[in-house]
Amino acid sequence: MAIDLNGYYTLILATLVFLLGRFLVKKVKFLSDFNIPEPVAGGLVAAVIVYALNAFFGYSFNFQKELQTAFMLMFFASIGLSADFGRLKAGGTPLFVFTILVSAFIVLQNGVGVAMASLLGLEPLMGLMTGSVTLTGGHGTAGAWGPIFEKEYGVAGATTLGMASATYGLVAGGLIGSPVAKRLVTKLGKKPLEIPENQTDVEKLADEQSLYSTQHNVADDNAGKEIFEKPDNIRLITASSTIETLALFAAALAFADIMTGVAKGTWFELPTFVWALGGGVVIRNVLTTFFNFDMFDRAIDVFGNASLSLFLAMALISLKLWELTDLAGPVLIILAVQTVVMICFAYFVTFKIMGSNYDSAVLAAGHCGFGMGATPTAVANMQSITDRYGASHKAFLIVPMVGAFFVDIVNATVLQIFTKLPFM
């Protein structure tokens, strides 16, 4: 028995799923320790409930896809609208080098995924869903590419596989980052910080606040422009800035809709969400470069995070977990191999190319975080190292900038190229 839910009920259920996830993350230490997003925590519980209703009573649910698609496009537009290439100057050469490194790893991650999927008798496209789509891309990218793989390439269960792989990546990225960095730091001979026993509590608190400010670049001009890695931070926005920001989103989405139609059937045909991201990038940088427009990043951040949360909640309650039954074994093998590849790349490549010093060890921890999971995981990995061994201003400047938006631009480009390869 199929139950159809219109847009109103789909939105209501998505908000309830999000609130359930918020409650679970606050109450379950494992979820908070590994930075599991609130809509993912609640959505997975909802997906299990839907699975049980289907298995025992034969019920299935059809949710309105148009609303889910709209929130997805707004999320990717927000990434583009946040991608200020002028900030590249703040990171300098190390930021450029790290971005190239991350790009190379995305290609490697997809190559490993496709090779392993073919070896295990799966569709090569399944390798992309267990590659950068879900691991570097996270739940948002998984939710965007999943329906495309299902409709255009006939890959059954791609969305469900993507969400499961992305959840695995969050946990794995949080588990491997700190051990990799600690081994590198120990190899460098750096000792943990020592706090004098006679230091007062006030002095300790002052030191901790000073360390936090250094790590998070609080004194920098870009303070307050933390995109996506701290979704619960309070951002003060006004009615006029809200309307201005919605106009920017509308322009990005209109650009995406027009370009999707123009490019259809041509060699530069791209998924609509990629055009939304690209439109945001163009609008942002044209307005700031040629018209000196003051972009209201806080409002963009709020809309982006809210859209992502609702999109993920809707995507997860739409999962059909029964489609994963036959894939569980091979998928776990691929993800285990991807984890080993991430460890080796961070240890032998990221660390060495970024300088073979303390900063590069912290960067390796961050790369493990968003190379397997997401930017919050990367930040948590780095904090676990800097809290013990000292601040790394360089790492905390570079990783959030690359992990928050530059990596998504690169990932979308690489994935588009992979889907066009003849053996796919």
- pLDDT at 124 exceeding the cut of 70: yes
Q: Where are the domains of the chain?
A: 2-419
| pLDDT > 70? residue 125 | yes
Lowest mean pLDDT among 147-151, 152-156, 178-182, 322-326: 322-326
Residue type present at position 68 = Q
- Per-residue model confidence (pLDDT) at position 282: 93
pLDDT over 90, % of the chain: 36
Could you tell me which of 22, 35, 69, 36 has the C-alpha nearest to residue 314? 69
User: Which token pair is 110?
Assistant: 């997809």
pTM above threshold 0.85: no
- Over residues 350-367, the pLDDT tens digits come to 999 999 999 999 999 999
Find the range with the poorest average confidence among 76-90, 267-281, 329-343.
Answer: 76-90
Q: Is the dihedral of CA 278, 279, 280, 282 positive or negative?
A: positive
CA Rg value for the chain: 21
Say if residue 333's pLDDT is above 90. yes
For residues 314 and 139, give the distance between their C-alpha atoms in angstroms, rounded to a whole number.
Answer: 12
Summarised one tens digit per residue, pLDDT across range 5-52 is 888 999 999 999 999 999 998 999 888 877 677 888 898 899 889 889
Least confident of 13-17, 196-200, 219-223, 353-357: 219-223
pLDDT at 381 over 80: yes
> What is the DSSP annotation of 222-269?
TTT---SS-TTS-----HHHHHHHHHHHHHHHHHHHHHHHHHTTSTT-
Cβ contacts of 273-277, under 8 Å, gap ≥ 24: 273/72, 273/73, 273/76, 273/144, 274/76, 274/412, 274/416, 276/73, 276/74, 276/76, 276/77, 276/80, 276/252, 277/76, 277/77, 277/79, 277/80, 277/408, 277/409, 277/412
Spatial distance between the Cα atoms of 422 and 5, rounded to a whole number of angstroms? 39
What is the pLDDT averaged over residues 409-422? 88
What pLDDT is attached to residue 180? 93
Q: What is the pLDDT of residue 198?
A: 52
| pLDDT at residue 318 in the model | 83
